[in-house]
Amino acid sequence: MPIFEYRCRKCDHCFEVLIRNSAEESTLQCPRCEGGEPEKLLSTFARSCSSKETLSSNCRPSSGGFS
């Protein structure tokens, strides 16, 4: 299942969402401020998302213990 990365247009918070169907995507809310219609980030641009650096700098092999 695809996981997409989004950035809230209101508070700039970045978060990942597991999208199971398109209806789910259309009702996305920012988990921090509950703002609607977050901006979808393409994987190429995900690194520019400064508030979340789990992809590159924190290079732990997927231990799954991230909370």
Binding site for Zn ion (CB under 5 A): 8, 10-11, 13, 30, 32-33, 35
* Residue 47: alpha-carbon gap to chain centroid: 11
**In angstroms, rounded to a whole number, what is the distance separating the alpha carbons of residues 61 and 58?**
9
Tokens of 37: 């219609």
Judged by CB, which is closer to Zn ion: 19, or 35?
A: 35
Closest separation in Å from C-beta 52 to Zn ion: 13
Judged by CB, which is closer to Zn ion: 13, or 41?
A: 13
Closest separation in Å from C-beta 45 to Zn ion: 18
